[in-house]
Chains A and B, each alone.
Chain A
Amino acid sequence: MPEITAQLIEQHQLTREEYEKILEILGREPTMTELGIFSVMWSEHCSYKSSRPHLKRFPTQGQGVLQGPGENAGVVEIGDDWVCVFKIESHNHPSFVEPFQGAATGVGGILRDIFTMGARPVAVMDSLRFGPVAEAPEFSPDGTASIHLDQNRRILRGVVSGIAHYGNCFGVPTVGGEAVFEPCYQNNPLVNVFALGLARKDQIFYGRASGPGNPVLYVGAKTGRDGIHGASLLASAEFSGIDGQQKRPNVQVGDPFLEKLLLEACLEVMQTGAIVGIQDMGAAGLTCSTCETGSRAGTGMEIELDKVPQRESGMSPYEILLSESQERMLLVAQRGREQEVVQVFQKWGLDAIEIGAVTEQPTLRVKQHGEVVAEIPNRPLTDDAPVYHRPWAEPKRRVPMEPPVPLASRNGDELREDLMKLLGSPATASKRWITEQYDSMVRTNTVIGPGADAALIRVKETSQGLSMSLDGNGRYCFLDPRRGARLAVAESARNVSVTGAQPLAATNCLNFGNPEKPAILWQFREVVEGIAEACEALSIPITGGNVSFYNETEGKPIYPTPVLGVVGVLQDVERHATLSFKNSGREIWLLGNAQGAQDNKAAHDDFATVFGSSLYAQMILGALWGLPPAVDLDYERRVQACCRRLIAEGLVESAHDVSEGGLAVAMAECCLSGNIGATVNLPPGGNPLELLFAEDPSRIVVSVPVKSLAEVSRIASEYDVSAGAIGTTGGSALKVCEQGKVLWEASLSLMRHPFETALEQALEKVSA
């Protein structure tokens, strides 16, 4: 057995103090195997040691929340004895090192988190961030670092086909998500995968190893040498330039077919009543699942590694325990009913092997060839893992508050060209090239699929709909993390509300740089605070999520990037809205913050300051400055409630959130999606640049039949929300008028071309 040297400790990413603590816990030197176990369990990825004190700030209670953070996924009641189970997780570093398998196993991992709780996964969404894939004047605060278009395209293509490969074969629809492009993600792409499942309320399963004496079963794929130290070396460390190549062996390899069999077998075996607890083997594999299930139940576990199905011979205890081979589960069954469990797995052609038993003593005891190779109390590995109250400090601003160039007024032709450029930028353009590679319809529930504000699926067992949205804006959060986080919650919830659904709860994926740097931890704290404030104001509890730190390569961190996944319920799925204009001759109204209205006090930062956070500033001016817009959360809540009411009463024919690219892009999307033109009248005396491209929050575009106008107006005033006509639908062009004169117009076909082809053109180019 190798001697535990200072170098070995460092290689395991453990500090001197942490090692001292290990000596104290064990009362002796750890074995090499035990050192490995501590290393993964105390990694940032598994222990949340830097984030835990801050995450307590989140509101986690609310109506219908049956399970908040701490389990494999959150559980929320939707009515009629059904629950939805959902969570988001990151797979960022693996996707940079090996885009296809990294993204594929990201999907596999989150799906297991859902079905391990007894829920059948019915929807997946992905929030993806890459470096630029098309030429643009994009600004990066790190200066003009060279943009590697081909590398970014290769990563995107790999990630998308990896997600498609796994999700399509498994048979879960990928119903939505986002794809964002910024230079800061070039060497650190983000792959955040959200999954949602459905279960009956009385059939939820937990990762708890209850009942000493009960058998512990290993099911699913065999254990190999893949993915060892994925959680510690990949997910909990910064990258240097060459790491991408060297760390490839740490990425796992996924088999979606096996996962499909595992799903069916697990759901079937849960029906037998013989299952006490179940947990998937994800990060830190067998180690994490054995000690976490024990810790949650106040028990321990003894396992014999010789019984673990192995793909190759001669694996050491260290390798078996730390392997992150995919598609594996740990089950605790009732003693005496093992055979029922084995039979179900045999039917699906899978191994189910008893590898040990639950013990009274709260210790993880691991044997190989009958000899104890590791013996560690459970709690220090899990709940009592180290927690760090790291220092934080607000960093010096790296971009100015004022525009670097004067915001010149633009004439009609220039404004039209600006819109064309935005529609043709990958950020705004149709994501069809990506989303058509995903099966978005399997399971025949998809009412609103990719390309909308939020997805909507029907629940076959009830008459309800479930709406879900992922949203986040790193640029906003870089300029002001707290405001950016508030905006992310507000927009994700607004996306759900514009389908007609009431937001129920949220999950979040927090992507940041190295938390050991005070500036990064300050960003993190601010974001957590912003999310908490917005979730409280909008009554949306957080039921779980994931923190991904160390998103830095060569010392350059990504923008602080929280991604909010909001889930909402629609009592009658037939009564939903979509963004597309449905008919000509309808009035177009803007709900909330209507032009010239003074009812939203918070949104009155100087236009020149907040415009620096817009997509227009990024894509047209190639600059970044100022602050993101502030959001008045009480106003936001009322705007969303008003919109849901209008949809429920059937008073509006379409509803679309105004977000990146402002009113101009929102209008273009409503027109293109419905293949109906529109005329927009700008109020006199305003600045067209601001009116068309500013990204003020709390705004929703709706189209209203003439007969409903009075009622819409009445309901809006009931919610104390400004609402007014900004134009009419009809024709085959988007026309923008000022005082009765056409300022500019663009035909649908002119707008459609860049919108539909931009991504394809960027990605179908053959890389060198």
Chain B
Amino acid sequence: MKFGVVVFPGSNCDHDAFYAVERVLGEQAAFLWHESEELNGCDVVILPGGFSYGDYLRTGAIARFAPIIGAVKKFAGRGGLVLGICNGFQTLMEAGLLPGAMLRNRGLKFICRPVHLRVENAETVFTHACSPGQVLNLPIAHMDGNYYADPATLEALEAAGQVVFRYCQPDGAVSDDANPNGSIHNIAGIINRGGNVLGMMPHPERASELLLGSADGCLLFQSLVQSLRRGLGAGQIASGPAMAATQPR
């Protein structure tokens, strides 16, 4: 099983994702250079966190034009599995692979701290090792993680079970107090309609070892590995019960 980790100029969680895959999960990992148009046979593509191209214009706004994104789009179009973490999530939205946009955090400050997330959809290829409603402890570290989508998009996302993670209290209650950045509906992570592209602001790669405070992030990586081992490509799990309610837009 081969995970590709994209390296943009300014990516800075690329080594962390690589380490989590190779050293914690024990799977093969490879870096994918932003100027390349090849995915080199990777089974999963991770767009890591960081400040691609400095993010001086708007987060992910330049990264979407990188040659590698063309390859990622084709891969995702064929049902390939793509995980965007933090800046990777921002880039996926800029690239049109996920709906919505990121605003600056409502406190207008960078926030780095562990948060609680409720798993809203445990039937995706990325989350099936979690139980429905399970509360995960993962850190966030971003300046622009205040998710926004227009009402129609939001309604469609909710209806189709595309909201995968929500910020919550330790007991799982979703409240404004538990919302670190002002995201609409406390949204922390969403999946595309095909069920093969997930974007999330929290960092599972930073929560893959108990020594660092939490190993909950492993559940995501393990879900991916198990899905691929069982030969479940994209869409197959996504068409499970939770996604059955998918409605035409």
**Residues in A lying within 8 Å of B, measured CB to CB:** 161, 164, 168-171, 255-258, 260-261, 348-349, 436-447, 458, 460, 573-574
State whether A444 touches B111 (Cβ < 8 A).
no
Q: Is B199 an interface residue (CB 8 A)?
A: no
Q: How far is the CA of A513 from the CA of B51 in the complex (A)?
A: 39
Report Cα–Cα, A446/B112, bound state, in Å: 13
Q: Report whether A442 and B13 are in contact in the complex, using a CB–CB cutoff of 8 Å.
A: yes
Q: In the complex, what residues of A have CB within 8 A of residue B49's CB?
A: 442
- CB-CB under 8 A from A257, the residues of chain B are 9-10, 51, 53-56
Q: Given A349-B9, A441-B141, are A447 and B212 also a contact pair (CB < 8 Å)?
A: yes
Q: How far is the CA of A70 from the CA of B111 in the complex (A)?
A: 38
Tell me which of A255, A348, A438, A574 contacts B54 (CB under 8 A).
A255
B15-23, B94-102, B156-164, B237-245: which lies at the A interface? B15-23
Query: Which residues does chain A contribute within 8 Å of B203, judged by CB atoms?
Result: 441
Chain B contact patch, size range: 20 to 34
User: Which residues from A are CB-within-8-Å of B209?
Assistant: 444
B4-44 contact mask (Cβ, 8 Å, vs A): 1 or 0: 00000110110110011001000000000000000000000
B residues less than 8 Å from A440 (CB atoms)? 112
List chain B positions with a Cβ less than 8 A from chain A.
Answer: 9-10, 12-13, 15-16, 19-20, 23, 49-51, 53-56, 109-113, 139, 141, 143, 203, 205-206, 208-209, 211-212
Contact of B12 among A164, A255, A442, A458 (CB under 8 A): A442
Q: In this complex, what residue of A is CB-closest to B50?
A: A171
Residues of A within 8 A of B51 (CB): 168-169, 171, 256-257, 260
The answer to whether A441 touches B10, judged by C-beta atoms less than 8 angstroms apart, is no
A574 CA / B209 CA spacing, docked (Å): 12
Q: Provide the bound-state CA to CA distance between A106 and B20, in Å.
A: 32
Question: For the complex, what is the distance from the CA of A446 to the CA of B227, rounded to whole Å?
Answer: 31
Given the known interface contacts A168-B110, A441-B112, the answer about A261 and B13 at a Cβ–Cβ threshold of 8 Å is no
Are A443's CB and B211's CB within 8 A? no
Identify 9 residue pairs between A and B in the complex whose beta-carbon atoms are under 8 Å apart, listed by A's number. Answer: A168-B112, A169-B12, A169-B55, A438-B112, A441-B212, A442-B13, A442-B141, A443-B16, A447-B212
* Distance in angstroms between the alpha carbons of A275 and B180 in the assembled complex: 46
How far does the Cβ of B177 sit from chain A's closest Cβ, in whole Å? Answer: 14
Question: Which of A168, A438, A445, A573 has the most chain B CB within a 10 Å cutoff?
Answer: A168
When the two chains form their complex, are residues A437 and B112 in contact, meaning their CB atoms are under 8 A apart? Answer: yes
Q: In the complex, are the beta carbons of A444 and B113 less than 8 A apart?
A: no
Q: Which B residues touch A349, using CB under 8 A?
A: 9
Given contacts A257-B10, A257-B54, A261-B9, whether A444 and B212 have CB atoms under 8 Å apart is yes
Are B112 and A439 neighbours in the complex by a CB distance under 8 Å? yes
- Chain B residues closer than 8 Å to A442, beta-carbon distance: 12-13, 16, 49, 141, 206
Give the chain B neighbours of A573 by CB distance below 8 A.
211
A441-B12 contact, Cβ under 8 Å, with A169-B54, A574-B211:
no
Cα(A168)–Cα(B50), bound, Å: 8
Whole-angstrom distance between the alpha carbons of A348 and B10 in the complex? 10
Given that A442-B13, A444-B205 are known contacts, is A164 also in contact with B211, CB under 8 Å in the complex? no
* Residue picked from A255, A443, A460, most chain B C-beta under 10 Å: A443
Q: Which residue of B lies closest to A446 (CB)?
A: B212
Smallest CB gap from A160: residue in B: B109
Taking A441-B112, A442-B16 as given, write out 20 further A-B residue pairs in contact, using a Cβ cutoff of 8 Å, ordered by the A residue number: A164-B109, A168-B112, A168-B141, A169-B54, A170-B12, A256-B54, A257-B9, A257-B51, A261-B10, A348-B9, A441-B139, A442-B13, A442-B141, A443-B16, A444-B206, A444-B208, A445-B212, A460-B19, A573-B211, A574-B211
Give B102 Cβ to nearest chain A Cβ, in Å. Answer: 16
A-chain residues with CB within 8 Å of residue B55 when the two chains form the complex: 169, 257
A168 to B20 Cα, complex, angstroms? 20
- Please report the C-alpha to C-alpha distance between residue A440 and residue B12 in the assembled complex, in whole angstroms: 13
Given A260-B10, A260-B12, A574-B211, CB of A436 within 8 Å of CB of B112: yes
Residues from chain B with Cβ under 8 Å of A447 in the complex: 211-212
Distance in angstroms between the alpha carbons of A677 and B182 in the assembled complex: 34
Return the chain B residue nearest A258 by Cβ: B54
Verify B109–A444 contact, CB threshold 8 A.
no
A436-B12 contact in complex given A168-B141, A441-B212, A444-B20, C-beta closer than 8 Å: no
Q: Give complex CA distance A661, B139 in Å.
A: 31
Bound complex: CA A258 to CA B113 (Å): 26
A450 to B, closest residue via Cβ: B112
Quick check: B112 and A169 within 8 Å, CB to CB?
no
Contacts of B139 in A (CB 8 A): 441
Known: A260-B10, A348-B9, A444-B16. A437 touches B211 (CB 8 A): no
CB distance from A147 to the nearest CB of B (A): 25
A438 to B143: give the CA distance in the assembly, Å.
10
- A442 to B209 Cα, complex, angstroms: 14
A624 to B23, CA, bound (A): 54
CA distance A391 to B50 in the complex (A): 52
Chain A contacts for B112, CB-based, 8 A: 168, 436-441
B154: min CB distance to chain A, Å: 28
B32 to chain A, nearest CB (A): 15
Q: Which residues of A contact B141 (CB under 8 A)?
A: 168, 439, 441-442
Across the two chains, which residue of chain B brings its CB closest to A172? B12
Contact indicator A458/B110 (Cβ below 8 Å): no
B79 CB to closest chain A CB, in angstroms? 30
Ranked 4 nearest A-B pairs via Cβ? A171-B12, A257-B54, A169-B51, A444-B16
Max chain B Cβ within 10 angstroms of own Cβ: one of A161, A257, A258: A257
- Closest residue of A by beta carbon distance from B13: A442
Q: Which residue of A lies closest to B11 (CB)?
A: A171
The one of B19, B54, B109, B212 in contact with A161, judged by C-beta atoms closer than 8 angstroms, is B109
Closest partner residue, chain B, to A263 (CB atom): B12
Q: Which residues of A lie under 8 Å from residue B54 when comparing CB positions?
A: 169, 255-258
Residue of A nearest to B16 (CB): A444
B111 touches A437 (CB 8 A): yes
C-alpha gap A136/B224 in the complex (Å): 55
Query: For B109, what are the chain A residues with a Cβ–Cβ distance below 8 Å?
Result: 161, 164, 436-437
Report the bound CA distance from A257 to B53 in whole Å. Answer: 7
A256 cross-chain contacts in B, Cβ below 8 A: 51, 54
State how many angstroms separate the Cβ of A645 from the closest Cβ of chain B. 22
CB-CB nearest in chain A for B56:
A257
Closest to B205 in A: A444
Chain A: minimal CB distance from B182 (Å)? 15
Residue of B nearest to A433 (CB): B109
- What is the CB-to-nearest-CB distance from B40 to chain A, in angstroms, rounded to a whole number? 18
Contacts of A161 in B (CB 8 A): 109-110
Shortest distance from the beta carbon of B226 to any chain A beta carbon, whole Å: 23
> Out of A255, A258, A458, which one reaches B211, CB within 8 Å?
A458
Q: Give the Cβ gap from B231 to chain A, nearest Cβ, in Å.
A: 31
Contact residues in A for B19 (Cβ distance below 8 Å): 444, 460
State in angstroms the CA–CA spacing of A442 and B55 once bound together.
Answer: 17
On chain B, the residues within 8 Å of A171 by CB distance are 12-13, 50-51
Residue of B nearest to A445 (CB): B212
In the complex, what residues of B have CB within 8 A of residue A164's CB? Answer: 109-110
Q: Are A436 and B113 in contact (CB under 8 A)?
A: yes
- Write the nearest CB–CB distance from B74 to chain A, whole angstroms: 24
Residue of A nearest to B23 (CB): A460
Which chain B positions have C-beta within 8 A of A439?
110, 112, 141
Establish whether residues A441 and B206, one from each chain, have CB atoms under 8 Å apart when the complex forms. yes
Contacts of B10 in A (CB 8 A): 169, 257, 260-261
Q: Which of A437, A445, A460, A574 contacts B110 (CB 8 A)?
A: A437
A573 vs B113: C-alpha distance in the bound complex, in angstroms? 22
Complex CA distance for A754 and B54, rounded to whole angstroms: 38
Of chain A, the residue at the smallest CB distance from B14 is: A171
Residue of A nearest to B111 (CB): A436
A458: chain B residues at CB < 8 Å are 211
Chain A residue numbers with a CB within 8 Å of B12 are 169-171, 260, 442
Which residue of chain A has its CB nearest to the CB of B51?
Answer: A169
| A260 to chain B: closest residue by CB | B10
In this complex, what residue of B is CB-closest to A444? B16
Q: Shortest CB–CB separation between residue A753 and chain B, in angstroms?
A: 15
